[in-house]
Structure 1
Amino acid sequence: MSSQGSVPQRTHRGQPDKHRAIAQAARAVFGQKGYSGASVDMIAAEAGVSKRTIYNHYQDKEQLFLSVILEGSAEVAETHTRIADRHLRKILDLEEDLVAFALEWASSPTAFAGHFALVRTIQAEAARIPPAVLEAWQDTGPRAFKQELARYMSQMADHGLLAFDDADTAALHFYLLTFVSVAQRSFYGAIPIGEAEITQLVVGGVKAFLRLYRPDSGERETSDRVRRGWVLR
């Protein structure tokens, strides 16, 4: 493939409606047919445009897939960052606030069904998708938000609420124990699961995380005195 995973050059000025139609069609077709099963002809038919029109906007199928996955990843990461700020910027009770954050975070795939259909495509066809596309997706979405989560974890550790050697590892473990636990159970939103089961998975994940990273009892007594009402910077 010729685009080598490069970020698409936008050539659609003056045609926002047509570009939007192509992007929506691509998201739907890639989500339904997968990366290898989708074709530019299918996307053109879904969008109600000619194949030539798509090539006026995108160099090839790889670039089109990259465009829609990056657009969705950026939007999801921004939403996740707002969720984290809402729940983790001010800690009143560490376990309760982590559970509240993880519950809203883990429920987000249902709000971005089209994007997470593409994530399922990536999970199923990673070997067929160009590595540069996979790396760009990680950098824009999952990896970017995990860095933001690590920042919150670091500040919790600074206030004595958590204890670890590496914030990135702690953030990864929290991600695996909460968000991924729910996402894998629901196949990233493909199979609805009940609120009670989501809560059970999240609460169990948070408790496991705190068993790993909460300070020992001697340190915890000090951290309990400072945890109420402080605000992350």
Structure 2
Amino acid sequence: MTEAAILDDLDEKTTAIVNAARTTFLARGFDAASMDQIALTAGVSKRTVYNRFRSKEELFGAAITETCKHLLPVNVSDIEDTLPADELIRALSRLFVQGILEPEALSLRRIAAFEAERTPAIGQAYLEHGPASLVAECAPILARLAARGCYSIEDPEAAIWQLGALITEPLHTRILMGDMPNDLDAAIDHQVEKGVAAFVKIYRV
């Protein structure tokens, strides 16, 4: 087998393991999910799982990372120069809010919150691979907009955290607690519009 074929095989197995982990965590929760079950679902040996992930916590982090890849399903560079700053923020915000309100994202958030007190590593894995990773990815967008003179932002990472709160709350918490609005799309539109308006008011030059 060539080196390229070996790498392809490794990638396929890793992808299968992460997908199996997501399925198992969502079905059983973190505590009840076993590495044996994840290996069985992925169609690989338990040794293969441990060769790629040192612990169940690390595998949970990988599952979070995979889920977060779908929160902004666009290439930002393709639209950044074609939209006015406020419209860009609004478009990305709506995609993000839609993503975090998907059933899988909500379930993983609930699992992390439930497990974090007794297993801090789970909370840290969620924070590192979820919110903190997204902040690090999105802060440069605000930095570029500020450099163009669209906003007055000294700390892009802090501004992203603020934007996240403005465009998600209280809708996110209400849905996490089981209070689903009758018209989710309308509720998202309302939350995003109010959140982006508040953000622009804070940071407008």
| TM-score w.r.t. length of structure 2 | 0.72
User: Which residues of structure 1 form unaligned runs of 5+?
Assistant: 1-12, 216-233
What are the superposed Cα offsets for residues 128-157 of structure 1, whole Å, 9 maximum, x if unpaired?
3343x5445444443232123211111211
Does the aligned pair in 1 maintain the 2:146–2:152 contact within 8 Å?
Answer: yes
Does the aligned pair in 2 maintain the 1:177–1:209 contact within 8 Å?
Answer: yes
Supply the distance in 2 between the matched residues of 1:166 and 1:49 (Cα, whole angstroms). 46
Does the aligned pair in 2 maintain the 1:80–1:145 contact within 8 Å?
Answer: no
Compute the displacement of 1:20 (Å): 5.7
Amino acid at match of 1:149: C
Does the aligned pair in 2 maintain the 1:178–1:202 contact within 8 Å?
Answer: yes
Supply the distance in 1 between the matched residues of 2:19 and 2:137 (Cα, whole angstroms). 28
Amino acid at match of 1:99: R
1:209 aligns with 2:199: yes
1:58 aligns with 2:47: no
1:82 aligns with 2:71: no
Compute the displacement of 1:85 (Å): 3.5
* Further displaced range: 205-214 or 170-179: 170-179
Residue in 1 that maps onto 2:91: 100
Supply the distance in 1 between the matched residues of 2:73 and 2:133 (Cα, whole angstroms). 10
Q: Residues 67 and 172 (structure 1 numbering): CA distance in 2 closer, same or farther, change over 3 Å?
A: same
What are the superposed Cα offsets for residues 87-111 of structure 1, whole Å, 9 maximum, x if unpaired?
434432x333321221112112466
Supply the distance in 2 between the matched residues of 1:74 and 1:84 (Cα, whole angstroms). 18
What are the superposed Cα offsets for residues 172-216 of structure 1, whole Å, 9 maximum, x if unpaired?
11111124655434329995761010000010100111111112x
Does the aligned pair in 2 maintain the 1:77–1:141 contact within 8 Å?
Answer: no
Amino acid at match of 1:103: R
Supply the distance in 1 between the matched residues of 2:77 and 2:178 (Cα, whole angstroms). 23
Compute the displacement of 1:73 (Å): 0.8
Residue in 1 that maps onto 2:25: 30
Q: Residues 78 and 41 (structure 1 numbering): CA distance in 2 closer, same or farther, change over 3 Å?
A: closer
Residue in 2 that maps onto 1:126: 116
Higher relative contact order (CA 8 A, sep 6+): 1
2:161 to 172, 196, 210: 172
Aligned residues between the structures:
198
Supply the distance in 1 between the matched residues of 2:156 and 2:101 (Cα, whole angstroms). 28
Does the aligned pair in 2 maintain the 1:36–1:128 contact within 8 Å?
Answer: no
| TM-score w.r.t. length of structure 1 | 0.65
Does the aligned pair in 1 maintain the 2:60–2:125 contact within 8 Å?
Answer: no
**Share of identical aligned residues, percent?**
22
Does the aligned pair in 2 maintain the 1:87–1:101 contact within 8 Å?
Answer: no
Amino acid at match of 1:76: C
1:196 aligns with 2:179: no
Tell me the SS of whatever aligns to 1:160.
coil
Does the aligned pair in 2 maintain the 1:146–1:168 contact within 8 Å?
Answer: yes
Supply the distance in 2 between the matched residues of 1:205 and 1:126 (Cα, whole angstroms). 28
Amino acid at match of 1:205: G
**Pairwise CA RMSD of aligned residues?**
3.9
Supply the distance in 2 between the matched residues of 1:86 and 1:168 (Cα, whole angstroms). 22
Tell me the SS of whatever aligns to 1:165.
coil
User: Which residues of structure 2 form unaligned runs of 5+?
Assistant: 1-7
